[in-house]
């Protein structure tokens, strides 16, 4: 196992200070390692995640070679030649487990943003104190965007949130964590080959959730109540002005509709599975309040906005992979983790084998299947 940093490197180096997992403690399950602390319904802080993954590395005695950066992987005579900053390896098979979120995705229109504006990605952001005083435009309203918008607003700065496609979820539903429902009802176990539109499912933004001790819901209504101004999707930056799409109303309506459909599915599962007595009665949440007149543009030269936070997603980085298996969109071509090159495998990508594939608790089932295939491949080579 080659790791360019230390075990849990992404959690040590690429997360903001206040971040907690949005998955509850009881759900952080790894093979033979379960959360056994006093707060199973709480949410781990980043140092706690680092500790948890570190404990798993010790427990599993994984042969990790840390501080080794892979610089190239090539296919040579049916094997793979792996070049690193600490020498070369020749191997029969390679598992690409380098993560789905190596780089922040930032739209190309950053170049058109006036120089007076500070631009920050979630990888640079540590906390509001590092930002200049004044207004902040947060672009993107998925898990990262809503969490950063809320935190920056609490620091007293005016915050405008540009809302694109998003997934609305309540933190708790019928008295249970909404992720308990995803887990218990089997939504998270749904396999990639059962998903209706796999391409879409793999691109689905992360849900609007935050892990707080209060188990609070962080949706657009909660943000509006704190004074965050909602605007539509950022369409472009032209002549120093940020221009927002007029489609906010339909995006909000769609997210509300999809949330209700998911909750309907949970209710149906509880009824059929005989769980109604274990949970509170069904509930529905207020529709998302549409701002009266959402602004369609903001002049970025006026001084109103001093910072833009690009919470526009993350992507993997395969610049080191010299095997022609990456498509035009920068994604690995694979079938359930079996990459389109003999002996090459992947883990930890969105809906790799199941809906839970990118979550900490999703790795166990996926790894078992992918490594099963790999073992068969190696046996076949003998
Ligand atoms: C902001 C954020 C919040 C998240 N919150 C949650 C959550 O609440 N719950 C949850 O279950 N999941 C969450 N996730 C998903 C989380 O990242 C995964 O659950 C988990 O960290 C994925 O582990 P991984 O090993 O697949 O990828 P990573 O953690 O990204 O690990 C990949 C490793 O590969 C190393 N690497 C990459 N390239 C090279 C190279 N060329 N050479 C050598 N080493 C290399 C990296 O240093 C890194 O350590 C979150 C992700 C992000 C970005």
Q: Is 5 in the pocket of ligand 1 (CB under 6 A)?
A: yes
For residue 263, give the nearest of 173, 190, 191, 186 by alpha carbon: 173
Distance separating alpha carbons of residues 366 and 96, to the nearest angstrom: 13
Q: Give the torsion through C-alpha atoms of 134, 140, 145, 148, to 10 deg.
A: -10
Phi-psi region of 230 (alpha: psi -120 to 50; beta: other; left: phi over 0): beta
Provide the edge-to-edge strand list for the sheet that holds 118-120.
Answer: 118-120, 305-310, 135-139, 159-162, 229-231
Give the β-pairing of 159-162 and 135-139.
Answer: parallel
Continuous H helices in the chain = 9-13, 46-60, 143-154, 178-184, 198-203, 220-225, 248-272, 363-381
Query: What's the pLDDT at 62?
Result: 92
Q: Is 144 in the pocket of ligand 1 (CB under 6 A)?
A: yes
Query: What's the pLDDT at 14?
Result: 95
Query: What's the pLDDT at 382?
Result: 79
CB 253 within 8 A of CB 185: no
Q: Ligand 1 atom 13: the closest Cα is on which residue? A: 359
β-bridge partners, 80: 75, 91
Q: Is 4 in the pocket of ligand 1 (CB under 6 A)?
A: yes
Distance separating alpha carbons of residues 324 and 180, to the nearest angstrom: 40
CB 286 within 8 A of CB 225: no
Distance separating alpha carbons of residues 93 and 382, to the nearest angstrom: 13
**Residue keyed to tokens 């199941």:** 354
CA–centroid distance, residue 10 to ligand 1 (Å) = 5
Query: What's the pLDDT at 139?
Result: 98
The list of the chain residues with pLDDT below 70 reads: none
Give the β-pairing of 241-244 and 297-299.
Answer: antiparallel
β-bridge partners, 307: 118, 136
Which numbered atom of ligand 1 lies nearest the CA of 347?
26
Query: What's the pLDDT at 61?
Result: 95
Query: What's the pLDDT at 356?
Result: 97
CA–centroid distance, residue 175 to ligand 1 (Å) = 30
Q: pTM (2 decimals)?
A: 0.96
Query: What's the pLDDT at 63?
Result: 96
Q: Is 360 in the pocket of ligand 1 (CB under 6 A)?
A: yes
Query: What's the pLDDT at 110?
Result: 92
CB 143 within 8 A of CB 206: yes
Q: Give the torsion through C-alpha atoms of 16, 121, 162, 199, to 10 deg.
A: -100
Distance separating alpha carbons of residues 118 and 132, to the nearest angstrom: 8
**Residue keyed to tokens 């427990």:** 59
Backbone angles phi, psi at 262, to 5 degrees: -65, -45
* Residue in 348, 349, 365, 366 to alter for ligand 1 test, most ligand atoms within 8 A of Cβ: 348
Q: Give pairs for 249-258: CB < 8 Å, separation 24+.
A: 249/290, 251/163, 251/164, 251/165, 251/166, 252/163, 252/220, 252/288, 252/290, 253/287, 253/288, 254/165, 255/165, 255/166, 255/167, 255/168, 255/288, 256/168, 256/287, 256/288, 258/167, 258/168
CA–centroid distance, residue 186 to ligand 1 (Å) = 24
Q: Is 10 in the pocket of ligand 1 (CB under 6 A)?
A: yes
What is the maximum span of the chain, computed from C-alpha positions, in angstroms?
69
Distance separating alpha carbons of residues 215 and 202, to the nearest angstrom: 27
């Amino acid at each position: 196992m080659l790791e360019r940093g230390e075990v849990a490197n992404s959690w040590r180096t690429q997360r903001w200070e206040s971040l907690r997992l949005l998955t509850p403690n009881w759900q952080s399950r790894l093979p033979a390692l379960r959360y056994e602390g006093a707060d199973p319904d709480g949410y781990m802080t980043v140092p706690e995640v680092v500790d948890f993954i570190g404990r798993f590395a010790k427990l599993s005695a994984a042969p990790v070679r840390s501080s080794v950066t892979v610089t190239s992987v090539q296919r040579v005579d049916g094997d793979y030649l792996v070049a690193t900053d600490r020498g070369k390896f020749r191997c029969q098979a390679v598992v690409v487990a380098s993560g789905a979120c190596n780089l922040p995705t930032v739209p190309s229109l950053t170049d058109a943003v006036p120089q007076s504006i500070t631009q920050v990605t979630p990888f640079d952001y540590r906390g509001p104190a590092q930002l200049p005083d004044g207004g902040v435009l947060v672009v993107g309203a998925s898990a990262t965007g809503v969490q950063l918008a809320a935190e920056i607003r609490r620091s007293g700065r005016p915050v405008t949130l540009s809302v694109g496609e998003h997934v609305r979820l309540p933190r708790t539903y019928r008295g249970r964590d909404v992720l308990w429902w995803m887990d218990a009802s089997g939504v998270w176990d749904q396999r990639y080959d059962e998903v209706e539109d796999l391409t879409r499912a793999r691109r689905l933004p992360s849900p609007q959730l935050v892990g707080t001790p209060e188990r609070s819901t962080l949706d657009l209504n909660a943000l509006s109540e704190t004074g965050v101004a909602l605007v539509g999707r950022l369409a472009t930056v032209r002549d120093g002005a940020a221009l927002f799409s007029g489609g906010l109303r339909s995006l909000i309506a769609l997210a509300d509709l999809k949330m209700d459909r998911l909750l309907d599915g949970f209710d149906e599962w509880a009824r059929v599975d005989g769980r109604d007595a274990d949970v509170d009665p069904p509930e529905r949440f207020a529709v998302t309040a549409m701002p009266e007149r959402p602004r369609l543009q903001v002049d970025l030269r006026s001084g109103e906005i001093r910072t833009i936070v690009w919470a526009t997603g993350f992507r993997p980085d395969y610049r080191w992979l010299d095997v022609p298996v990456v498509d035009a969109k920068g994604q690995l071509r694979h079938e359930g983790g079996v990459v389109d090159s003999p002996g090459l495998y992947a883990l930890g990508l969105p809906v790799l084998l199941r809906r839970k594939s990118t979550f900490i608790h999703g790795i166990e089932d996926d790894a078992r299947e992918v490594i099963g295939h790999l073992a068969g491949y190696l046996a076949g080579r003998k």
